[in-house]
Amino acid sequence: MSNFYQKSNLKELVLLFLTFFGCGCLLYYVTLHAEFNFDDNLYIVGNRDIKTISNFQYFWDNKTRLIGFYSFALNYYFSAFDPFVYRLTNLFIHALSALFCFLFTLRLLQTPLISGTIASQSAKYLSLFVAVLFFVHPIQSEVVAYITQRFEAIAGLFYFMTIYFYLTARQGTKLLFIPAIAAMIACMFSKEISYTLIPMLLLVEVTYFDFNSEKKTIYLSLLAVGLGIVGALLYMFYGGKIISAGLGSVLRLETNVSRLDYFLTQLYVLFYYLRLLIIPFGLNIDHDIMLRTSFADPVVLLSLILHLTIIFFVLVNYHKRRLPCFCVIWYYLTLSVTSSFIPIKDLAFEHRLYLSSYALYLLLAYLIFSGTRQPKLRGTLCAIIILILAGFTVQRANAWRSEINLWSDAYSKSPQKPRTSFNLGMAYRRAGNELEASKYILKAADLQIQRGNYDYHSLIIFSDAASVYINQGDLTKGLDLIKRISLLPFTNIDTYHNIGTIFYKLGDYKKAQGYFEDTIKANPCHAEALNNLGVIAAKDNAYDQALSYLSRAIACKPDYANARFNLAMISLSTNNIIAGQEQLRAIKYLNRPDLEEALSAKIAHRQK
């Protein structure tokens, strides 16, 4: 084997990384300048806490995603809200992950119990093929194009780094245990999949090293130390919450689905994921997965039988076919956090396969290199597979060109899912097409009522749909949805505000005021609610209170032109022309000619 692959020549590695990055720019070119999508609006665009890189309290409060959130803050520091920079950062991390995927696989194939096999003899080419598959497979498009899923890419990078440095240290360079531990800790501050790292290292140890080795105890002791570090970090992350709310509150995320029903559903989802990896048709930002609730369900029963068969195969063949069995366990272990007994609000998401998919790439490469002895035939087969996957990736990237394009694609594949219809409607609303927006938002509410199983997201759907009905003059349907909201065991700040806005439009200012007050109790800096409370106070001639609310709204959101306009109009009503002129200058700066014209006329009238 060449010195480069044994000593990891830096120049060659840099060239490989740049090749990945350059090819990625071509594959995802159409997405680089695309707008923010889905949760990007929540975690990035609407997140004022990332607007300063010194907001350490916020980053620490979100410690299980600390590195990801801090990377968003750095992006904002250098480029504000330019999605090009954010996506280029995602692509950079993905290329770096592919590089360490290559290094990890190469090191894996040099371990004692694999060395000498066909896979080991072609280690450098096999490892490169695995890394390229990891990089170009269309399933990874959600992590690259969906900026918020940078969390997954960062965790994947540190996951590969941890095992690579561990294996390198294990096979000679002992000092590399230090970066292995550092990478493991960084992974813990990236995403919850890191909790599987110690079991994965134990799996690597048992699979690829002689269990009777004299030094085995030393390395197992080192893993025990790693387990202690993980345990300490887990206690730091969740100890307080477990003490105050119980363990069950930690082992659940924004859903009331029972643990058994979630597990039964995941028995099917695990095979659904495999289908997406093997035949990448129907990729979707919002898969519509049916909740399974019984062992008697034929889909559940068949899935269970297949899983037991696979587990039996692994147990029987583990010592004979170590690498294929390792791939199977890798797949199950890396999905154990999201596909077991810990209910999560979304039953399936493609980005969860970012690390898990490695199992399929390694298994495919192993089968090709073991079953094909002719180098030209093997190379041709690998090239064809890569080109086909790259073509699918370019096609999938087109779905991310715009928010409307993305959700139209999702709606064509999940037409009966309420959230898909709602998000398409909201995409049209942000694009200024209220007619199309109303159609899909109302359909989302109808689908949610038909489906039942109300969740946290139902609040948002019903409140926005109620607002649409009120605007259309259908008070009966609007108020019916408000009643449904009041019966749900969930709360949401924006829902309070939306309902308040509905009652304001209906002229019921007292009820509207109550909802706006609930909004600012939950979020004292909700500028829109503060503005609306100021307007209501002015209607009651409580001008001092109105000015106080509006001043707070402007302090929270200095570029809020409507609040400045309302503050100016109330100031003029109390003959404070100077305050009105001050707000007029601010409104001119904010480039709102409509408000500027109306306010200028009011000031001119007062000065007569």
What is the pLDDT confidence band of residue 117, given thresholds at 50, 70 and 90? Answer: low
What is the pLDDT confidence band of residue 42, given thresholds at 50, 70 and 90? Answer: confident
- The pLDDT assigned to 490 comes to 67
CA distances from 13 to 7, 10, 20, 163, 232 (A): 11, 5, 11, 18, 35
Calculate the average pLDDT of the chain: 87
What is the pLDDT confidence band of residue 5, given thresholds at 50, 70 and 90? Answer: very low
Q: Which amino acid is at 338?
A: T
Dihedrals φ, ψ of 344, to 5°? -125, 150
Torsion angle of the four alpha carbons 251, 255, 259, 262, in this order, in degrees rounded to the nearest 10: -120
Q: What is the pLDDT of residues 281-320, one digit of tens each?
A: 999 999 999 999 999 999 999 999 999 999 999 999 888 8
Q: What is the pLDDT of residues 148-174, one digit of tens each?
A: 999 999 999 999 999 999 999 887 777
Question: What does pTM read for this prediction?
Answer: 0.83
CB 337 within 8 A of CB 195: yes
Which residues, in sequence order, are CB contacts of 477 under 8 Å at separation 6+? Answer: 466, 469
- The pLDDT assigned to 16 comes to 94
Q: What is the pLDDT of residues 167-216, one digit of tens each?
A: 998 877 778 889 999 999 999 999 989 889 988 988 888 888 776 655 56
CA distances from 519 to 349, 458, 463, 489, 528 (A): 31, 18, 14, 17, 10
More confident residue, 493 or 164: 164
What count of Cα atoms within 13 Å lies in the side-chain half-sphere of residue 75?
26
Q: What is the pLDDT of residues 423-469, one digit of tens each?
A: 999 999 988 899 999 999 999 999 999 887 777 778 888 888 988 88
- The pLDDT assigned to 305 comes to 96
What is the pLDDT confidence band of residue 396, given thresholds at 50, 70 and 90? Answer: very high
What is the pLDDT confidence band of residue 3, given thresholds at 50, 70 and 90? Answer: very low
What is the pLDDT confidence band of residue 594, given thresholds at 50, 70 and 90? Answer: confident
Please determine, for residue 330, whether its predicted confidence score (pLDDT) is greater than 60. yes
- The pLDDT assigned to 494 comes to 73
Q: What is the pLDDT of residues 347-385, one digit of tens each?
A: 999 999 999 999 999 999 999 988 887 888 988 999 999
